[in-house]
Amino acid sequence: MRVSASTQNTLPVFPKLASANLDPLSVLGFREQGYTSFEQIVSESITGGYKEGYNGKVYLIPRMNNYVLKVLKAETLDTNLELVKDPLPERNISQIVARKGRYQILKRQYGITGGVPFQHFKRVFTSSLELKEIDNEYRDYIKMVHNMPQKAYEHLAETIVALNGINYHFDWSHGRNLIFNLDCNEINVVDLERGHIPLTVGHMVPPLLDTIYAYYRKNYLTDMSIPLNEIIQKAIEAALKVGLPIPNLLGEATVFEEHARMEFAFELAGNKGKWPSVRKKILSASKQA
Ligand SMILES: Nc1ncnc2c1ncn2[C@@H]1O[C@H](COP(=O)(O)OP(=O)(O)OP(=O)(O)O)[C@@H](O)[C@H]1O
Ligand SMILES: [Mg+2]
């Protein structure tokens, strides 16, 4: 279908499902659980607690185990409720299944959110009070990541490989976009974005280490080098096993940031300056170079 220039500007980032005549509430099982309108889903959900990020708040939906409701903070034009095309039906990558204006229904990831909680992370910029307690939250987070079995790292690496295959990526800038399922031993991603970034292990390590918090507190977290180092090793091992690339396009603008983050991850783990040579060694051993 041709789209006019004016409607093109408002085209959603995530493509909607072609069969427009399906009733989203029936397709997604909301009617079965007593929901008769989208407004009812919103009003029943937003009375509960939420998890927050820069762009939105995410609520559990009463009686619905498989989905969560994300409410974007930015005002957007209201639209009809529409189903979104699932780019990877066989895998839970927290994809959007339906949306209406600033509301999105996402597949739910079960587990513990990674990183330092958003509300606490924000204090890094505003006050040094209580930062020692937040450092301890960071330490507890790193202990959890460190204790995850190798299988969980492989699951994350496989998910990132799958994202490469469908031209999606996730916001890899911090740990709150990882969810740790301790029952299934999985590490999963949330906060998907559409568009191709060739994801590598350099996009897996920074959120695992929540490097964005550690960046501001590195002088206080020097006691964490052993677990941090082992997490990096586990991530690299998982990447090699499942075919998630080691970044090898030095000099290209698109990979500059992941290199900088990897260099910082190595520094944090007590191996300042060693990432380039480690990288080379792995590449020549794995013949990816
Ligand atoms: N599909 C999901 N299943 C379970 N929890 C989720 C899901 N998506 C998001 N969350 C929770 O909500 C929080 C905020 O969600 P999300 O990262 O999508 O918001 P954001 O505002 O876009 O984040 P950011 O600050 O990274 O821009 C996450 O850290 C996570 O705790
Ligand atoms: Mg996020």
- 141 in a structural domain: yes
Which pTM does this prediction carry? 0.91
What was the pLDDT predicted at 240?
95
The Cα–Cα gap between 138 and 43 comes to 34
Task: Specify the pLDDT at position 5.
Answer: 36
pLDDT, position 249: 58
Q: Is the pLDDT of residue 18 over 70?
A: no
pLDDT for 24: 95
- In which domain, by residue range, is 150 found? 112-286
CB 116 within 8 A of CB 213: yes
Q: How many CB atoms lie within 10 A of CB 131?
A: 16
Over residues 1-27, the mean pLDDT reads: 61
Q: 118 and 63 in one domain?
A: no
pLDDT for residue 266 is more than 60: yes
Is 123 a member of any domain? yes
pLDDT recorded at residue 254: 52
Please answer whether residues 91 and 106 qualify as being in contact, where contact means their C-beta atoms are separated by less than 8 angstroms. no
Q: Are the CB atoms for 189 and 130 separated by under 8 Å?
A: no
The average confidence (pLDDT) of the chain is 90
DSSP assignment, residue 193? E
For residue 104 and ligand 1, the question of a CB distance below 6 A is answered with no
CB of residue 82 inside a 6 A radius of ligand 1: no
Closest listed ligand to the CA of 106: 1
Looking at residue 9, its pLDDT comes to 38
CA-72 nearest atom, ligand 1: 21
Share of the chain above pLDDT 90, in %: 76
Q: How far apart are CA 239 and CA 185, in angstroms?
A: 17
Q: Is residue 6 part of a domain?
A: no
- Which helix (DSSP H) or strand (DSSP E) does residue 66 occupy? strand 64-72
Query: Is the minimum distance from the CB of 94 to ligand 1 under 6 angstroms?
Result: yes
Residue 126, both tokens: 């505003």
pLDDT at 225 over 60: yes
Q: Residue written as tokens 């085209």?
A: 11
The verdict on 269 and 170 lying in the same domain is yes
Which has the higher per-residue pLDDT, 150 or 78?
150
Q: In this predicted model, what pLDDT tens digit does every residue of 95-126 receive, in sequence order? A: 999 999 999 999 999 999 999 999 999 888 87
Q: Is the CB of 159 under 6 A from ligand 1?
A: no
**Quick check: helix, strand or coil at residue 57?**
strand
Of all atoms in ligand 1, which is nearest to the CA of residue 171? 26
Exposed e or buried b for every residue in 16-39, given b needs 16+ CB within 10 A?
beeeeeeebbeebebeeeebeebe
Site of tokens 């930015």: 74
- Single residue among 66, 86, 107 that ends a domain in this structure: 107
Please count the structural domains in the chain: 2
Q: What are 25-84's pLDDT values in tens digits?
A: 999 999 999 999 999 999 999 999 999 999 999 999 999 999 999 999 998 888 899 999
Q: Rounded CA gap, 76 and 266, in Å?
A: 41
In short, whether 188's Cβ falls inside 6 Å of ligand 1 is no
One domain for residues 35 and 89:
yes
User: Does residue 239 form part of some domain?
Assistant: yes
The predicted pLDDT at position 2 comes to 32
